[in-house]
Chain A
């Protein structure tokens, strides 16, 4: 791929009473694996089904039921690992994480503590202005999601929905390489983008299929560099983990709040206690959920119902061969091949569907024009049309490419093209046919334009005098001619002829 060079950004600095502080952030992102069936049962993963309708006997933890790994979920985890340039572990294993909760029917979650399926990888998180952070991935493991407890339907009873129980999650654990709230959000967005390219996670945060735990600590300038050199965590501050956030905004708010809370403690001569905290979105603050001492003892041990997961290198190679072009490579190529700006390339590659749409349009016309029309006209039109996704666009790339092609050929002017765009968008049809049928073709016949110019000059002698005195007023004639020709006259030709006739 074409490498783009980026500069590492400075960490976010917070000024305290005793000097400057830096943030150190590591994240655990839980991404729901995009598959039809759950990790260890054949039950459906469809979102929004009737409560407790997507539940097999296995998910419900019925006596005598046994888990059987869903190969599709394993393939998706491998695919994700490859997309994050990570090491794939041909040997991995499942462990039980034991705790009691009504939405955890087995009394344990099957996870991969000791031997995860994916090892170390990396993600390039672009932050604009040629800056990007390279965040190291420590590991990705597969695990079961829990169900949902509902406590607000009845004053004295709680309800449980097991539809989500047993759905496959990938837990993507980063190193503490993220240095500010915006970087944290950008990191999650980048993971989401890559996984959507790969088709391994829908990344729909509202539906909870992407959630993040954030580990936040603060340190003095220089400490982080000492940590990076030695990988010795003692150079860093004590961290707190903020659990289960499903919005970019909350992630940033929580980090910001938490960093300031920790700084206040430290500057007060107190210390930060390692603990798990929850973000209260209403109050915009984090509060303690449980301390390290109160932390659950999950009694992890290898799940005896499952054999170690052994996969073949050849299978991994097949998956690798089927990977699509990923965002970084695509963006670099768009810049190189189509001459797009970094910004335009970023926007067009944000979703692989937009990128694919753009490339089809560009193939039928011109790269730069295609980018402008997709970014400005089409995106704007889709937004006005009930915020439609590009996949729902009523206009096909071939149609938009056709419109742009007509501009390039000089058959229509930019202004007519906009009218044509609206017609094709709302009514459909082949742009070139519409242009012919509705007489929208641009007039490049200089004879016809000359006649029109003559007419306007003859009818407006006073304006002719003024224009001769002040050539800037020639534009008035151009406008009149365009009006007279219904906008179909080639503006360039009109300009030239008006200038010539007026003797400018």
Chain B
């Protein structure tokens, strides 16, 4: 079968009849079968894929085929999929099969997408390396040259990134609370978009931090992200925070023309101790944007340095409350109780056994910052700082900046287990360039633009104005064309 690099290419071939959805599905089912070493797919759904592919073929034949009709996708385990295990990679949701479908997957399936299975992730999306998953680590298909050390695909959408990067699917859903789409995308040489908060419905997505969580596409390139976003986005009456705005055809907005656009370069993103190659990557990126016709402007986002601590107050606070429902009473895994154990023991044992260390840490931090006497000092102050961070961006955009260019991550992918002994804060530093975007509710996209000295992919981030994903994607498209990043990992799995 012809190799399809992108969703767009596969779509065109499907529409022309060069390949059938069923053939495509079989090819990708086989790829998924052969890639257990990556541990990207944690629940395979070949039967569902075959059924959906057959239905897609019928639609293709009838000439009623949206862009995603017949396209094999992977779905992050955080999305509830009816009748299919949806565990947020947590032991506490062992055997949980929802009787409902998330709005995002409902929309994707309505457009004819084919689900290959559920993708690995950090437990409850808490992590930056996919090492907190109850299914074990997802593995990055990229390696440091000939070094066989297993690397992290990033997190929390590590399985999504690994699967797309290794061509196990043409696109995947991700979710991004502090960088969980963009950091893994950058670590695996793919493109990942976090839309404006409220652009994509959160209904049926297992909540981590409700005011920050946003689903988005992870795919090979900017065009594919545009195609997927048009399918995923839209107002949903079932999510009160979803915006009642029309969804444009984002793909149609891609012309790569960014002449005269002003790209802001925030000085606060030049961190102390930032690796030379990240600095160089960023400098290259600036040149690329200029080459594409944009004007660069140095800007200041003065509250950036407070973003990480602010995030690590707000996100755990919301998580501590969102995760209270995992109590062993109604669904998921209940701990074995001893004679005489009461409700308190049931809660304690169920949650102690069911949640991993990182989740427990964040639940405890969140409980602490919301408790009487600490609320104002932590949570309320964090909310105020969040407003200031948002205002920084608003000011920049009001001053005429069209998009902001930053590194996506402070380093290339690191080795699995390398951070095991590190202070958790070291891991949290992975989010340093990405959390501001979540706190401000803005759209952000990671685009692969270069490689590290060891041959690992590196990405840059573009941050756009709220609700202007079309503009943002177009700027990213210009960057992508200038960067010309086409490298893929050599297959070893």
A residues contacting B by CB (< 8 A) are 57, 60-69, 96, 98, 100-102, 105-108, 158, 160, 297, 299-301, 304-307
Which single member of A63, A68, A158, A304 contacts B206 (CB below 8 Å)? A63
Known: A57-B99, A307-B240. A63 touches B321 (CB 8 A): no
Which single member of B80, B324, B371 contacts A297 (CB below 8 Å)? B371
Q: Mark B363-404, 1 if CB is under 8 A from A, else 0.
A: 000010011100100010000000000000000000000000
- Which residue on chain A has the smallest CB distance to residue B101? A64
Bound form: Cα–Cα A432–B315 in Å: 77
Known: A66-B202, A68-B240. A105 touches B329 (CB 8 A): yes
Find the residue from A63, A65, A300 having the highest chain B CB count within 10 A: A63
Closest chain-B Cβ to A305's Cβ sits at a distance in Å of 5
- Which residue on chain A has the smallest CB distance to residue B201? A66
Bound form: Cα–Cα A106–B329 in Å: 11
Known: A57-B99, A304-B210, A307-B241. A100 touches B205 (CB 8 A): no
- Which residue on chain B has the smallest CB distance to residue A108? B321
> B211 to chain A: which residues have CB within 8 Å?
304
Bound form: Cα–Cα A96–B331 in Å: 22
> A160 to chain B: which residues have CB within 8 Å?
329
Is B269's beta carbon under 8 Å from chain A? no
Docked-complex contact B329 and A63, CB < 8 angstroms: no
Is B16's beta carbon under 8 Å from chain A? no
Bound form: Cα–Cα A227–B329 in Å: 47
Bound form: Cα–Cα A63–B204 in Å: 7
Known: A301-B375, A305-B240. A64 touches B321 (CB 8 A): no
Closest chain-A Cβ to B317's Cβ sits at a distance in Å of 6
Docked-complex contact B240 and A306, CB < 8 angstroms: yes
Docked-complex contact B207 and A297, CB < 8 angstroms: no
Bound form: Cα–Cα A158–B205 in Å: 31
B residues contacting A by CB (< 8 A) are 79-80, 86, 88, 93, 96, 98-100, 102, 202-207, 209-211, 237-241, 317-318, 320-321, 323-325, 327, 329-331, 343, 347, 367, 370-372, 375, 379
Known: A57-B100, A299-B371. A106 touches B325 (CB 8 A): yes
- Which residue on chain B has the smallest CB distance to residue A61? B325
Known: A158-B343, A304-B318. A64 touches B329 (CB 8 A): no
Bound form: Cα–Cα A438–B371 in Å: 80
Bound form: Cα–Cα A158–B203 in Å: 31
Docked-complex contact A304 and B205, CB < 8 angstroms: no
Bound form: Cα–Cα A440–B93 in Å: 80
Known: A63-B93, A69-B240, A306-B240. A299 touches B203 (CB 8 A): no
Bound form: Cα–Cα A42–B209 in Å: 24
Knowing that A101-B343, A102-B327, A299-B372 touch, tell me 20 more A-B residue pairs with CB under 8 angstroms: A63-B88, A63-B93, A64-B202, A64-B203, A64-B206, A66-B202, A66-B240, A105-B325, A106-B324, A107-B321, A107-B327, A297-B372, A301-B318, A301-B379, A304-B211, A304-B241, A304-B318, A305-B210, A305-B240, A307-B240
- Which residue on chain B has the smallest CB distance to residue A101? B343
Closest chain-B Cβ to A40's Cβ sits at a distance in Å of 9
> B318 to chain A: which residues have CB within 8 Å?
301, 304
Docked-complex contact B240 and A100, CB < 8 angstroms: no
Docked-complex contact A301 and B370, CB < 8 angstroms: yes
Bound form: Cα–Cα A301–B325 in Å: 17
Docked-complex contact A301 and B317, CB < 8 angstroms: yes
Docked-complex contact A64 and B80, CB < 8 angstroms: yes
Known: A107-B324, A304-B209. A63 touches B86 (CB 8 A): yes
Docked-complex contact A63 and B237, CB < 8 angstroms: no
Bound form: Cα–Cα A83–B292 in Å: 65
> B241 to chain A: which residues have CB within 8 Å?
304-307
> A306 to chain B: which residues have CB within 8 Å?
240-241
Docked-complex contact B240 and A62, CB < 8 angstroms: no
- Which residue on chain B has the smallest CB distance to residue A94? B240
Closest chain-A Cβ to B387's Cβ sits at a distance in Å of 13
